[in-house]
Structure 1
C-alpha cells in the first residue's frame, strides 16, 4: 500500500468513467465539493461517489482543470522514484534517435509522457525545462534531481516564462539555471543538419523541435526549386531545402530581425553561401501581398505560422486568418507547385486546416491534391485517451 496518506476528494456519481478510460484531467464541476486542507499544487486521492480509489493527482482551485492525474495505482507514491520511473520511460522512447544524426528532441511531453505540466527539451547534453502547472511547480526540486539522475545532462535551464503559468497562479520567471552549467548557446544535429540553439532567448525552448519530420519530408519537393519559407524563424525548413542536390534557392521571411540573422548564421554553419538566398525581415501577410502584386512565383511555399488561436473564443478569427494566409500562399505558387501549410493552434483541428485550404482553393478556382499529412513526431507522444492535447497539423499539397 501507499506509504503516504494523501487527502481525498470525491467525484459526483458517474463522473469517473473518463478516468477509468485513462484520461488525466478532472474538471472542477466533477468534484462533489472542493477539497479542504489541500494547497494549490498539492497531491490528493480521487475517489468515486461510492468511495472507491480511482486515481492520484495534483489539485488547483484556480483553474477549470481542478486535478491532473499522475497515477491510477494506489500503491504508487508521488516521490523521487516515481519521477525517475516516468523520466526513465521517456528516455527509453527517445532511443529511436541516432545520436550521430539527431541529438535534439523533446524529452518529456507533459501528459504524453505521464507528467502533466512538464515539458523538457534536450539539446545535446543540455536540458531546457518548462513547468506550466502549480502541481509540477511543487515537485520542482524532485523533478530537477530526477532529470539529472536519469539523463546525465551537463545542465538544466528553466524557461518558466510562458503565460500559461499565470492561469495556474504562478509567477513568470526569468530563465534560470536549475542544475549544472548551461552555456549561452549550443550546437546540435537534426537529421545530420547543424543548428545552434539560443535556449535563453529563443522562442519556446529555442527551437521548433515538433517540425523535425516535416523538415525532412520537405527535402524531396525542393531539389533545384525556388522555395519561399514564411514565418521562417531561424530557417529550419530553409536550410533543409538549401542543402539539397541540386540546391534550392530559398527566400526566408520572418518579422524578427534577430531570427533572420540567426538563419544566416545557420546557413553559414552548414557551409551554404548566403548570397545565393534571400533573408527578409517583414510581416508575412504584407510580404505575400506585395509578392503577388509583383508577379513573384515560387515552386514551393511553406506556411508555418505561430498559433492564431490559443482559446476556443479565438477560433473563428483564427480560421479566417488561416483562409487568408493559404489564399496568399497559393497566389504566389507556380501551377503544380507544392504548398506545405501548418497549424499549431490546439482548437483548430486537421479537418479545419483542410477546410481552410479547400475554401482558399475554391475562391481562387484552383484544384488541390493532398499529398501527405503529419501531426506530432515520435518525441511528442499524445496520450491516446486525450486527443484534445494534440495541437500540430501539417499538410503537403499540390496546387494546380
Structure 2
C-alpha cells in the first residue's frame, strides 16, 4: 500500500515513548512547536524528533491534549473505510452479548475502541452517538455513514450536549436525528430484564449501561431483603433486586420526579407490583439523614451517585462527599448488611473510594469485608496504556 501523508507535527526528543507504549494522547508541551498552519480539528502525522513517523491523529490547539491518536500505520488513511473497520472490530467484542437476553450496550467507547472523542450506545434498534472533540466532530459525516453501513438500526440520534465540548471550542447542541427515525421511548433488554429508556432526554444517553454486571451481581445479595437504592434514576438496581425474590422490598430515591416515574413504569414492565415498593423524589443526602433519624435499617444499600468531581480541582471536595455519603449509608445499614458503593469520578481512584469507605467505617466503629470489585464492564474497554481513561469503581462490602 502507498503511504498516506498529512501535515506534520514534530515531537520534542524522547516524547514518543508513551506513544510507542500504546498511549493515544499527545500533550501540547510535547510538541517542538505548535503547528499553527494546521486548521483546528484537522488530521496530522506525528513524527519523532528524528523525523520518523510515529502516529496519525487529529489536532486541536485549544486544549492541553493537542493530538489524539487514531492509527500508528502510515499507510492507513483516516476515512470511511478506516471508521468501518474500527466499528467492525468493536462489534466483534460485543458479540459476547446474547441478543435475546441483552440488546443494549456501548458500541463505541472512545479511546477504548480506538476512536477518541466518540461514544455510541446501542438501544435495541436505535443508536445514540456523542462526539466530545473537535477532531471527531469533523469526521462525523463519515462516522454516521460508517455506522449505517455496519450496524442495522432504524435510527441514529446525536446527543452533543456534553460540557466537555466547550473545552474543545464546540457548541452544546440539542439532540438531533442524524439518520432514520428515533422514538421518544425505546424498550430494551438487559440480562433478560426489560427497561424503558428515553434516548432524547435521559441521563447520559438514556441509561447507565456501565452498571449492567453490577445490577446482576446485586441479585444474590438482595433475595428476600430490604434494599435501599440511592440515586436510583430509572430504577435499574431496584428492578433487579425486586426480581430476585417475591419477599424482596425496595426503596428507590432520586431527586428527579421524571426518573422516579420511569422507575415505576419499569417495575410494571417486568411484572412487578410497584405498590409493594417505595419511591421517593428527594435529595439522597436529605433522605439518608431522615432515615437515620427515624432509625430505619436496610439489609442492602446501593450508593451510585453522579460524578462528584469533574476535574482535579474538585477532587478534595469530592472525597469529603464520598466520605459523608458512605457514612450515611452505613448508618442505615443493618449490621452484617451489604453495601454497594460506586464512584464514576475519573479523578477518584479505587484506592480513594476504598479509603472513603474505610474512614467512614472507622468513624462509626464498624468493620468492613470487601466482597467484590467491578469496573466498567466488557462494553466499556480501556487500554492498559491509558489507565487514566478508566472512571467507574463499584465495590460490594459487608459491613459488620
TM-score (norm. length: structure 1): 0.99
Name the structure 1 match of 2:65.
65
Alignment map for 1:281-360 (pairs within 5 Å): 281-360=281-360
Partner of 2:263: helix, strand, or coil? Answer: helix
Q: Confirm or deny that 1:119 pairs with 2:119.
A: yes
- 1:267 is displaced (CA, Å) by 0.4
The Cα offsets for residues 272-296 of structure 1, whole Å up to 9 and x where unpaired, read as 1111000000000010011000000
Q: Where in structure 2 are there 5+ consecutive unaligned residues?
A: none
- Give SS of 2:34's match: coil
Counterparts of 1:116 and 1:375 in 2: how far apart (Å)? 20
Partner of 2:8: 8
Kept in 1: contact 2:58–2:69 (CA 8 A)? yes
Offset from partner CA, 1:207-234 (integer Å, 9 cap, x none)? 0000000000000000010000000000
Distance (Å, rounded) in 2 between the aligned partners of 1:242 and 1:336: 20
Deviations 1:9-65 (A, max 9, x none): 100000000001110000000000011321111000000001000000000000000
Secondary structure (helix, strand or coil) at the match of 2:51 reads coil
- Cα deviations by residue, 1:184-212 (Å, 9 ceiling, x for unpaired): 11100000100011010001100000000
Equivalent residue for 1:238?
238
1:319–1:356 Cα contact (<8 Å) kept: yes
Cα distance, 1:376 vs. partner? 1.2
Contact 2:4–2:75 (8 Å) recurs in 1: no
Counterpart residue number, 2:101: 101
Question: Please, which runs of 5 or more residues in structure 1 have no aligned partner?
Answer: none
The 8 Å contact of residues 10 and 31 in structure 1, kept in 2 or not, is answered as yes
CA contact (8 A) 1:241 1:247 kept: no
Q: 2:192 — aligned with what?
A: 192
Contact 1:231 1:305 in 2 (8 A): yes
**Separation in 1 of the partners of 2:247 and 2:235?**
15
Deviations 1:100-124 (A, max 9, x none): 0000000000000000000000000
Q: How far does residue 5 in structure 1 lie from its aligned partner after superposition?
A: 2.6
2:147: which partner in 1? 147
C-alpha distance in structure 2 between counterparts of 1:22 and 1:153, whole Å: 33
Give SS of 1:240's match.
helix
Q: Does 1:74 align with 2:74?
A: yes
1:137 aligned residue: 137
Aligned residue in 1 for 2:54: 54
Report the 3-state secondary structure (helix = DSSP H, G, I; strand = E; otherwise coil) of the residue aligned with 2:33: coil
Contact 2:4 2:76 survives alignment (8 Å): no
Deviation at 1:384, TM superposition (A): 1.3
* Contact 1:346–1:392 (8 Å) recurs in 2: yes
Aligned to 1:380: 380
Quick check: 2:319–2:352 contact (8 Å CA) kept in 1?
Answer: yes
Deviates more, 1:57-66 or 1:148-157: 148-157
Q: Is the 8 A contact 1:57 1:71 kept in 2?
A: yes
Cα distance, 1:246 vs structure 2: 3.5
- Once the two structures are TM-superposed, the CA of residue 247 in structure 1 deviates from its matched residue by 3.9
1:46 aligned counterpart, secondary structure: strand
SS in 1 for 2:234: coil
User: For 1:177 and 1:2, how far apart are their aligned partners in 2?
Assistant: 37
**Offset of 1:248 from its aligned partner?**
1.3
Aligned pair count reads 400
1:21 aligns with 2:46: no
Task: Report the equivalent of 2:272.
Answer: 272
Instruction: Give the corresponding residue for 1:251.
Output: 251
Runs of 4+ in 1 over 6 A off after TM superposition: none
1:181 alignment partner in structure 2: 181
Map 1:29-40 → 2, pairs under 5 A: 29-40=29-40
State the distance in 1 between where 2:331 and 2:319 align. Answer: 18
**CA offsets per residue over residues 315-338 of structure 1, 9 Å max, x none?**
011000000000000000001000
Number of the residue aligned with 2:211: 211
Q: What's the TM-score once normalised by structure 2's chain length?
A: 0.99
